[in-house]
Chains A and B, each alone.
Chain A
Amino acid sequence: MTLTDSELERYSRQLVLPEWSGEAQERVRGSSAIVVGAGALGSPAATYLAAAGLGRIGVVDSDDVELSNLHRQPLHYTPDIGLRKAENAAVKLRALNPEVEVDPYPARLGSDNAETIVTGADVVVDCADSFETRYAVNDACCALGVPLVEGAVLGLGGQVMSIVPGRTACYRCAFPAPPSPESVPSCREAGVLGAVAGIVGSIQALEALKLLTGLGTPLVDRVLHIDAATMEHTLIATERREDCASCSRVAASAQSG
């Protein structure tokens, strides 16, 4: 597998990075990612993954583009209102980088279909807007041993954590139970500034590229919290729970393997 002249030119500015390489580029090209959600976090995350040259990206979203989405979801433009987000994201990502195979999944990811969607992925980027989806994604990634990047944004706050199932704390280790439904404003009600989501989604794409290539040190066993109002970044240590319902089973199989 070698890079074509057109790929060399497209990726030249990352290929000259001391921390990147032709081997890293080929690994990324041979990789498949699932991006759950094509909204505020999924737009930048999927955009940077497509731009960087992922081989295949699956985009999962059951919603249609609405006018109220556009301030924070830069894959969707005003003429796209009414289109399926997953399909519109695929159109945009293919236009950005025709080298990438993009598969839209216009479906709501839940515990019933999570494993089917995640199967075959080398990394999953969770840009979902609900706790129910996050736990379903985390459980499927743990069951299948697929690395995962979790992200969330609310108001001017954001958080990101990377997960290597069986080796590092999973989302359920860090957050064993969802907050009570009354304490969680739904994404439709809660305020969010697009640029803040852009920061978090971009970090998620970067973490996915790090997990795929071995670049740098991924954000594992730590939760990064960002306060965009003050630009304070805080790393909160977390660790695996032996009794974790999602990943303790993964540890047993990883050790025996």
Chain B
Amino acid sequence: MREMDLTGVPCPMNWVRARLALEEIEDGEPLELVLDPGEPMRSVPLSAREDGHDVTVTGNRVTIVKR
């Protein structure tokens, strides 16, 4: 599974990097992100859902399945 450590990467750059990584994987493949608490944990999963992906949050780890 593709994993990205985005701790220390503020909004919106964390979502920019995640989005570019999502472009590189196939539909149905997961991308796992490690995010800082606070705004990143609120806004990145929300942006991913708005883009139509499946999102699961466990602690500070966010798994996005590309749709």
Which positions in A face B, CB cutoff 8 Å? Answer: 3, 8-9, 12-13, 15-16, 18, 21-23
Report yes or no: A12 in contact with B23, Cβ–Cβ below 8 A: no
Query: Can you identify 18 A-B contacts, CB atoms within 8 angstroms?
Result: A3-B20, A8-B13, A8-B17, A9-B13, A12-B13, A12-B16, A13-B12, A15-B19, A15-B20, A16-B15, A16-B16, A18-B50, A18-B51, A21-B23, A22-B19, A22-B20, A22-B23, A23-B23
B7 proximal to A (CB < 8 A): no
Which positions in B face A, CB cutoff 8 Å? Answer: 12-13, 15-17, 19-20, 23, 47, 50-51
In the complex, what residues of A have CB within 8 A of residue B51's CB?
18
Q: A86 to nearest B CB, angstroms?
A: 34
What DSSP secondary structure best describes chain B's contact surface? Answer: helix
Closest residue on chain B to residue A2 by CB atoms: B20
Q: B51 to nearest A CB, angstroms?
A: 6
In the complex, what residues of B have CB within 8 A of residue A18's CB?
50-51
Give 7 nearest A-B pairs by CB, closest first: A22-B20, A12-B16, A15-B16, A16-B12, A22-B23, A12-B12, A16-B15
- CA gap between A8 and B51 in the complex, in Å: 19
In the complex, what residues of B have CB within 8 A of residue A12's CB?
12-13, 16
- CA gap between A166 and B65 in the complex, in Å: 41
- CA gap between A29 and B51 in the complex, in Å: 24
Q: B32 to nearest A CB, angstroms?
A: 19
The interface centre, meaning the residue of A13, A22, A23 with most chain B CB atoms within 10 A of its CB, is A22
- CA gap between A45 and B64 in the complex, in Å: 37
Q: B21 to nearest A CB, angstroms?
A: 9
In the complex, what residues of A have CB within 8 A of residue B12's CB?
12-13, 16
In the complex, what residues of A have CB within 8 A of residue B17's CB?
8
In the complex, what residues of A have CB within 8 A of residue B16's CB?
8, 12, 15-16
In the complex, what residues of A have CB within 8 A of residue B19's CB?
15-16, 21-22
Closest residue on chain B to residue A17 by CB atoms: B19
- CA gap between A22 and B20 in the complex, in Å: 6
Q: B27 to nearest A CB, angstroms?
A: 15
**Sample of 8 further A-B pairs with CB below 8 A, known A15-B16, A16-B47:** A8-B20, A9-B13, A12-B16, A15-B19, A16-B12, A16-B15, A16-B16, A22-B19
Closest residue on chain A to residue B20 by CB atoms: A22
In the complex, what residues of B have CB within 8 A of residue A9's CB?
13
In the complex, what residues of A have CB within 8 A of residue B50's CB?
18
